[in-house]
């Protein structure tokens, strides 16, 4: 589906919107880890999925998928869990994850298919930053350098009430993209800012029903 044709968004407008990435942290410390789908395109994506998709929990050759489906293809919001323990949470198009978190073995990948960051799951540190030009050298603040610790990390954190979070941190706070597991069986994937859910994501209920859209200050907002 060509979003620009369906919704009358010109190529120049899309390019302009893609440049409007939010400043989550002070500019002097923030480093661009990956490109994100800007808010106008997120709204278009959610609107298209809401109007065209169904939801299902299905078995696939590699494991299982829970999420939205369009024209019998994995498309929209959901997650894949494979038989070998790997998983991908995020936004899908024609069977592939176009943006999200993918964990396999000792590595976590966060971002899209071209621009993404790789974390070492054992250390929680950034191991590679990939762009269209290839892997970039890791300099502070992306990785330890000049006796300074990187403010970025990816790790699992368990809480006293039994809840669990696995995802990105900035200066010790949930920040970036992550997955939160409640003890009641609910799962949330999406964007965090300063410890709170702020941005687009999805809430998965224990019955596999998915609610997706925008959250502000830990609360889902109507669009």
The yes-or-no verdict on residue 11 having pLDDT over 90 is: no
140 pLDDT band (50/70/90 cuts)? Answer: low
Residue 157 belongs to a domain: yes
Nearest-angstrom CA–CA distance, 89 and 104: 12
Residue 223 belongs to a domain: no
pTM: predicted TM-score of the whole model, two decimal places: 0.84
Residue 144 belongs to a domain: yes
- Summarize the confidence of residues 166-189 as an average pLDDT: 96
Structural domain of 135: 3-216
The yes-or-no verdict on residue 19 having pLDDT over 60 is: no
Point out the least confidently predicted range of 5-9, 111-115, 125-129. 5-9
Question: Percentage of the chain surpassing pLDDT 90?
Answer: 70
- DSSP notation for 79-91: EEEETTS-EEEEE
Closest alpha carbon to 88 in 107, 69, 70, 115: 107
Residue 222 belongs to a domain: no
pLDDT in tens, 79-106: 999 999 999 999 999 999 999 999 999 9
Residues 6 or more apart in contact with residue 198 via CB below 8 angstroms: 191, 192, 215, 216, 217
Closest alpha carbon to 66 in 207, 217, 222: 207
Instruction: Quote the pLDDT of residue 135.
Output: 79
The yes-or-no verdict on residue 164 having pLDDT over 90 is: yes
- Summarize the confidence of residues 137-155 as an average pLDDT: 74
Residue 23 belongs to a domain: yes
Point out the least confidently predicted range of 11-15, 30-34, 93-97, 184-188. 11-15
211 pLDDT band (50/70/90 cuts)? Answer: very high
Instruction: Quote the pLDDT of residue 56.
Output: 94
- Summarize the confidence of residues 162-189 as an average pLDDT: 97
**How many domains does the structure of the chain reveal?**
1
Residue 210 belongs to a domain: yes
Residue 104 belongs to a domain: yes
Nearest-angstrom CA–CA distance, 221 and 200: 10
Residue 152 belongs to a domain: yes
Question: Percentage of the chain surpassing pLDDT 70?
Answer: 83
């Amino acid at each position: 589906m060509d979003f620009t044709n369906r919704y009358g968004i010109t190529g120049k407008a899309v390019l302009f919107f893609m440049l409007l990435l939010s400043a989550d942290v002070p500019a002097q410390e923030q480093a661009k880890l990956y490109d994100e789908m800007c808010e106008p395109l997120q709204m278009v994506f959610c609107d298209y999925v809401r109007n065209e998709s169904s939801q299902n929990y299905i078995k696939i050759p590699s494991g299982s998928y829970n999420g939205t489906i369009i024209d019998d293809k994995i498309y929209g919001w959901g997650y894949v869990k494979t038989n070998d323990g790997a998983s991908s949470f995020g936004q899908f198009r024609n069977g592939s994850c176009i943006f999200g978190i993918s964990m396999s073995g000792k590595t976590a990948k966060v971002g899209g298919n071209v621009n993404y960051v790789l974390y070492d799951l054992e250390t929680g540190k950034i191991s590679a930053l990939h762009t269209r030009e290839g892997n970039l050298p890791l300099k502070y603040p992306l990785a330890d350098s000049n006796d300074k610790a990187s403010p970025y990390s990816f790790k699992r954190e368990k809480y006293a009430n039994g809840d669990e979070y696995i995802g990105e941190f900035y200066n010790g706070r949930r920040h970036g993209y992550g997955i939160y597991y409640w003890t009641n069986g609910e799962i949330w994937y999406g964007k965090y800012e300063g410890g709170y859910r702020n941005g687009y994501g999805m809430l998965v209920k224990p019955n596999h029903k998915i609610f997706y859209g925008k959250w502000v200050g830990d609360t889902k907002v109507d669009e």
